[in-house]
A and B are shown apart, each in its own frame.
Chain A
Amino acid sequence: MPQSELIHIGEEMMAVCNSCRYCEGFCAVWPAMEYRRSFAEADLNYLANLCHNCSECYYACQYAPPHEWMINPPQTFAKFRAQTYEQFAWPKPLASAFRANALVVSLLTALMLVVFFFGAMQAAGSRSLSTAVAGGDFYKITPHEVLVLTFGAVGLFVALALGIGLLRFWRNIGEQTSDLTNPPAVMLAIKEALALKYLDQSGWGCAYPDEKSSQSRRWFHHFTFYGFLLCFAATTLGAIYYYGFGWTGPYGYTSLPVVLGTLGGLGLIIGPAGLWSLKTRRNREITDESQQGTDVAFIVLLLLTSITGLLLLVLRETAAMGSLLAIHLGIVMTLFLMLPYGKFVHGLYRSAAILKYALERARKSTLGV
């Protein structure tokens, strides 16, 4: 859909929604809308990213299709979000290419990287890939330096790309860079984002995957996000062990990094699998089908990451370890490379929108409005 047409749909929708306001009690989008009387593209970008796609508003809407005004906030906002993810990505052409064929690009990239790691291991390792290594010591297969160099470079690039995208979005919705660190607003935003407050709706949950309100999406998202966080913590802790204390891996099954990684890995199986299952049962009248590819690609990469990671842990003392390691590393690197161009950015943009909403509330209260 051309951008101008989407903006027109968004403006028309807001003219109805801001005159109705029945949804005011659902989430942050509607009070944020009420701060405004007109809706430019930047306002719509902001509100769209503040929307958590809970869909309560659609089922409550007296103007939803087949009403002639065809009001459909979940779908309209989803389309705006997709546009912001692409528009503000850096470098933008990478995002456009990825979005067009997300799952295929992801799997091909993963395949290439797996092959690369096989090659690197064969070139660098003194041991054969197909024999068991005592204690499951994968540094015997892949030198630590190779991992640090490759993942360090990818990590820096990804952080840069994510940062640029976030800043572009933040400025587009009319905020100053300095306000990204406004302490009270940031604290409030972190609290609301970490609790998924706007999928909770005061305990009712949200209308996902169908009309009946439920907490299932919020919980599966929690499994996914905190699973991801635990895996990240495990890796970081491993680095601290290595650099800080000189303790080299692999660590025992009861060591903190392995416990964190195992719990995280389980979360990253339960969460994405649950979200995928909910997604397949979703009411298609309110989804933006064009995002199906990036959504599924992200879920698949998360699942492959956690499954191969756990397999690696369980089988690290067998002959399969070398191959599994190459596969796992290839998939993890793909996941990282795709972060700035796929579904992952929703977390950043939505958090930024929540932060803006916290700032707006603070400004309103100081103005005494």
Chain B
Amino acid sequence: MSEDFSNLDVLVIGGGNAALCAAITALESGASVLVLECSPKSLRGGNSRHTRNMRLAHEKQINPYTGAYPADEMWNDYMRCTGGMTDPELAKMTVYESPSVLDWARAQGVRFQPALAGTLHLSRTNAWFLGGGKSLMNTLYRRAEALGARVLYDAEAIDLNIKDGRFRSATVRIKGQHTVQIAAKTVVVAAGGLQSDLEFLKGAWGAAADNFQIRGTPFDTGTMVKVLLAAGAESVGDPSQGHMVPCDSRSPKFDGGIVTRLDCVTLGLVVNKAGDRFYDEGEDFWGFRYAIWGRLVAQQQDQICYCFVDSKTINKFMPSRYPAIKGNTIGEVARQLNLPVEKVEATVAEFNRAVQPGKFDHTVLDDCKTAGLTPSKTHWAQRLDTPPFYGYPLSPGLTFTYFAVKVDRRAAVLMKGGQPAENIFAAGEVMAGNILPKGYIGGIGLVIGNIFGRIAGKEAATLAKKSAAVASKEATHAAK
């Protein structure tokens, strides 16, 4: 390799939001930084490439939000969606530090816009990137490079040389060919979760994992999580947990991103492969339930479900990548979906009989519900009676896994026994499981990445400078 990476302060492993937040903060603290992104430049940014907003508390209505979102309310939403069982201290840090993210991002040049029309009613609570997550990443890369970061693409860290909880160097494979050793005073590991490692998923889910889609980057194979755990780091979280949403079964295995998700569930009726309903489709707003439905689908036979809607509702949710299967009767749609036709017809007929009169309003928890039906549909229940009818096949789409490396509030990786590693920090999906035990709340992933990325970058830079000072003192001493 032509470039000289000796005397490096901070090595950042990963190239997504958390990694770049760490890199920028370390650079601003005066450290030298090398970023290793394992994808080619055109696909850089990991899962952040597919994101679009951050959930950030704000005590008052300020641009770009449509209203105030006090931190206490965000805390309650977080608890409501996740159960909040892992590390309350880190979770509290995330929620209560979140207001600082907006100004920080703007200072890097990140552009925001009003919330997208027709999305999950998140305009009050979430800040949206103009152009989405890839645009965010372009800005962060430009900023990091302007500050003097060096970035290597097609550079995959495959091993870490760690002795006694102290990082020495990383083994890096360049363009899938030769490997090099890159030493640094400190390392920030922000290389994503394990979701693209299909073997890992099989270990956690068994054969069911074959039917999962990975919504994000194929590059997040969790190598760094596994390497850190093998080196004695403490793990956190259940390997089967992750952010999982219902996606169209016709989607590609990887990288389908946002457009394959289906937002029809609360408006429709969902059956499994046997033609039976199995869960209340109208339990809560979709923004609070989409993350639960991914798992619900994953627990059904062959990890597939089917959502039926009719002409009244087909245009009331966001369109998706693949057209709905259409038919003049429910049976016609069921036949095209290879479902037991009579069973589905009976399920729909039974549902239609159970629907009570009410005033339909998708923007509130309305009074349209079923009576005497198990499971019931508690809101937005309308008869499926207006042809043509439509059906979508649903599969679990995994966004990222929660099985993670345990960290402390300095973002330092905790080794077994509870001691923090001396110079190893972690941010983003590598450690998000410290905060997300299960479930998900829209827009929290990038916030965790930002806050812990910045902490990790700051800590790593401070430590690198300190060790440089010590080293130069020792050198001076030795020279005498």
Contact = CB atoms under 8 A, between A and B. Distances in A.
A212 B42 CA distance: 15
Given A63-B257, A212-B142, A25 B113 contact: yes
Contacts of A56: 131, 135
Contacts of B138: 59-60, 211
Interface string B224-242: 0000000000000000000
A34 B258 contact: no
A19 B258 contact: yes
B355 to A, nearest CB: 26
B358 interface: no
A83 interface: no
B319 A67 contact: no
Contacts of A24: 113, 116-117
Interface in B191-214: none
Given A19-B259, A26-B130, A37 B315 contact: yes
A66 B117 contact: no
Contacts of B417: none
Contact of A62 (B130, B132, B142, B318): B132
B315 A34 contact: no
Interface string A281-297: 00000000000000000
A21 B321 CA distance: 12
Interface in A21-60: 21-26, 31, 34, 37, 56-57, 59-60
A119 interface: no
A256 interface: no
A188 B142 CA distance: 36
A227 B95 CA distance: 55
A204 interface: yes
B30 interface: no
A62 B117 contact: no
A159 interface: no
Select the residue from B118, B129, B259, B323 with max chain A CB neighbours within 10 A.
B259
Given A24-B117, A34-B117, A68-B252, A62 B134 contact: yes
Interface string B358-394: 0000000000000000000000000000000000000
Select the residue from B133, B318, B321 with max chain A CB neighbours within 10 A.
B321
Nearest to A15: B321
B120 interface: no
A23 B117 CA distance: 11
A22 B115 CA distance: 10
B211 to A, nearest CB: 20
Contacts of B320: 19
A115 interface: no
B135 A59 contact: yes
B379 to A, nearest CB: 24
A34 B130 CA distance: 16
Contacts of B135: 22, 56, 59-60
Q: Is the interface of B mostly helix, strand, loop or mixed?
A: loop
B114 A25 contact: yes
A34 to B, nearest CB: 6
Nearest to A66: B42
Interface in A50-95: 56-57, 59-68
B43 interface: yes
A76 B267 CA distance: 34
Contacts of B315: 37
Contacts of B128: 25
B390 to A, nearest CB: 12
Contacts of A112: none
B196 to A, nearest CB: 15
Interface string B286-327: 000000000000000000000000000001001111110000
Interface string A6-24: 0000000001101111111
Contacts of A15: 319, 321-323
B52 interface: yes
Contact of B131 (A16, A19, A22, A31): A22
A21 B118 contact: yes
B55 interface: no
B423 to A, nearest CB: 34
A65 B131 contact: no
Interface in A339-369: none
Contact of B257 (A26, A62, A204): A62
Contacts of B49: 62
B23 to A, nearest CB: 19
B130 A66 contact: no
Select the residue from A21, A64, A68 with max chain B CB neighbours within 10 A.
A21
B42 A57 contact: no
A16 B321 contact: yes
A57 B260 CA distance: 19
Contacts of B322: 15
5 contacts: A25-B128, A60-B130, A62-B50, A62-B258, A212-B142
Interface of A: 15-16, 18-26, 31, 34, 37, 56-57, 59-68, 204, 211-212
Given A59-B131, A64-B42, 6 more contacts: A19-B259, A60-B134, A61-B134, A62-B257, A63-B259, A68-B255
